[in-house]
Structure 1
């Protein structure tokens, strides 16, 4: 009888299963016996088989569950298998390991029965399969639930972290602007003095923070792009208008190149404005006092390149790509969230472009936006023909 065979060979079966688990275990877990794993399941299979040989064989369903499964609370195997699935998730196993864990025992029983020429009936194998089916189903279900819970928890933590950073920066800028405005309203200082400069910097900071956050929301939410064809020259003029104020506030010089009036882009203008604004904001922030920031646009073959060059003094070796990692801040000035460059890269890539950085040792950095080239001549005419 199978339950006698399992009882007599219990230690050997567990040893074989442990050996297989150890081969697949993550570092630090090898050889560890999980509380609700093979040992408990084997005891429950033995108990089920023994009950099925009594005068009331249906009592075994309280241990194994009925064929086709059921709620974990309706069977001992369902309950312990759910606990096992939870433990496997917590110990870093994959969902495949959940299935393998029970499959190992089935294989061990089959191999040992063959080696010992044990007589096991078809009905007993059917009972074993029912136990395995219910155990795997409940373990996998609980494993999936725990995995989804962990993922959701991590996403919530990441969102809370971002919101916390955003609220902190927003509060700082708003408090600065409010304080400067209250001093100006007292009439002891004017708008053109140092206090007026503080107010300007706070308002520019608020504007940049909101623009960057709106771009991130659009990218994270996967909102569709709103592409349209526009002149690069007109775009640079708009960027220059808003960037000039920050250049004055930061005490930097801004130079913008002349651009071929026929050169055009066909992208989401708002996302490009946000990306270019972030690059200029970084340039003003990290350049030396009275440094010169350059904004240049030009065509190379079928591409349009927009360069933002600063005078930060250059980057330490290996720091270029690290700057695009969210919440990374490598400079002494750690105001801000460390998200601007990450959002800028995502915005450009969403428009089928590339954002890269080139280090100029001893001088600064050149950030380059690379986008597909178009021509203003491609804009369809909206003028109706004159009819005599």
Structure 2
């Protein structure tokens, strides 16, 4: 799965962008309020100083026009338009001839006159800068970098807190399905949570318990039925043997009874093998895969000496660490199907190669293949591939269960050049060299 499709990064980006935008706007707002307050204080100081200076000029009889851009007594600042009113009567005492600003666009400050009378000084409110301009200025500032870094750390932490329990549940689900660990359960810490994750954990535990009970009961039923069939089958075989002695070995009825008993015995063996697969340990001692392939070649040469066969392992010294009997049985079933459903003079290929996923194994025949509608159901129990050959429809099902028990996967497909191709993928964890 690519990184941009993962839930962690989606949550991280959403939290990061929202927190960065919210924090940035809050910082801009705080800085803007502080700036406006500072400008107001500076304007108040300047306006009150200029108003007192104007009152002193008037007291000395020095009349100056208030619209003139004249320097004040220290020669550093220009005059600002302001109006001085009597605080009690509201009469204008000083100021330009034009009308004073409205209350919505003006600032008013209280002061005392030269004789201590209460006065009110009115000036234009300072213009605030464009908010967009302030935002753009903030984006290229050091504060913006700090906000982005802090919000990124916070977003990473929150995303980890949210995704961590989900990943733990995913690991338990993977252990249940891929590793066939029916006893796996969500941890107590997860199941005791009082949020949606806790509810999901408890539902997962209930589901896992149900699956374990169902599969255990199914396996027990298959084993019990198979064992119960063994006794009457053994008696039937003894009776068939006695009948064959009395009627003679060439008697068709006795021969037919013996063949049917052998079929029933083989079916019971298959059912027992299928029911016991989940109890087999997938691990095992390291072995060389080429040696196992040589054994398969020897079996084919013994069964069908006229069958052409190609066997290859790349690299030749490839070693695996798993239950070799489980893998041998799975591959033997694939080879047996190829021998059963194809002509003896057609080529059979058994190959293996190390790939990025782990190890890839092929068993390909040159037969007619399988219809597409049947191909998807070939690994289900009691599904046969058709034809005149006898079988129980359990071989590929046992093979699939064995491969999955080893942590791998089995896929069937019709090769473009003809024939059925069975591909087994084993994980990298079983590869030694």
TM range (shorter): 0.3 to 0.5
Q: Calculate the TM-score normalised by the size of structure 1.
A: 0.42
Q: Report 1 or 2 for greater relative contact order, CA contacts < 8 Å, sequence distance ≥ 6.
A: 1
Q: Calculate the TM-score normalised by the size of structure 2.
A: 0.38
